[in-house]
Amino acid sequence: MSTSVLYERGDARDEALSPSHVAPPVSDDELTVSTELFELSTDEYWEWLTTLVDEGSELDQELDELLDQIYACEPSFYNLSGRRRLQELLTELHEARAAVRAYEYDVEELTYVFTRAEVMEGGAAENADMALSQIKATYNRAYDLCLYKLDRIGNAWITASNFLISIVMLIVTILFWMEFR
């Protein structure tokens, strides 16, 4: 995956609804919802939900491809290009975190609107919640695996250094023993 994960806050809503229903977010931290979103038809709510779930599937697929790349990267501890590749994948994961957070915000917004509008049944947003759970699980697996592999490379260097020190100490001990024998 040479391109970064592409999902920004409000993408599903913007794609599913007309521009009159789309309000730009006030800030990244707080949930602000346009009052027009509470006056949508049932079909518009379903379109928004369907689009959000589809966008979530695409995001999960992109993260899964990134996870596959991390699984495929099996560098030796002395291979600097392999370590750099893992660090590049970790950087891509850091960039993907913004997309995961944006999707999480959109699921919260959809759930809030569904609850307040009372047009849809209460469990209708559960599909988006399940997609969010899957996205988070994939992201966490990829992140943990990448950190594990980088840590394993670091530990191999420590082990190799300790082995070299042991060999040097053995040689010094033998030479010292031969000198005073």
Q: Please tell me the pTM assigned to this model.
A: 0.74
pLDDT band at residue 114 using 50, 70 and 90 as cut-offs? confident
Q: Report the candidate in 53, 73, 75 with the shortest Cα–Cα distance to residue 65.
A: 73
* 14-18, 32-36, 39-43, 144-148: range with lowest mean pLDDT: 32-36
Is the Cβ–Cβ distance between 55 and 74 less than 8 Å?
no
The amino acid at residue 151 is D
Question: Could you tell me the pLDDT band of residue 2, with boundaries at 50, 70 and 90?
Answer: very low
Torsion sign, CA atoms 13, 14, 20, 23: positive
Average pLDDT over residues 101-112: 88
Measured between alpha carbons, how far is 172 from 34 in angstroms, rounded to an integer?
Answer: 76
At residue 64, the pLDDT reads 94
Of the candidates 131, 139, 66, the one whose C-alpha atom is nearest the C-alpha of residue 97 is 139
Q: Which residue has the tokens 């609107």?
A: 113
| Residue type at position 94 | H
Query: Model confidence over 61-104: pLDDT tens digits?
Result: 999 999 999 999 887 777 778 888 999 999 999 999 999 999 99
Alpha helices in the chain (DSSP H): 11-16, 42-72, 80-117, 126-179
Burial track 105-138 (b if 16+ CB lie within 10 A, e otherwise): bbbbbbbebbeeeeebeeebbeebbebbebbeeb
Q: Residues 17, 48: contact at Cβ < 8 Å?
A: yes
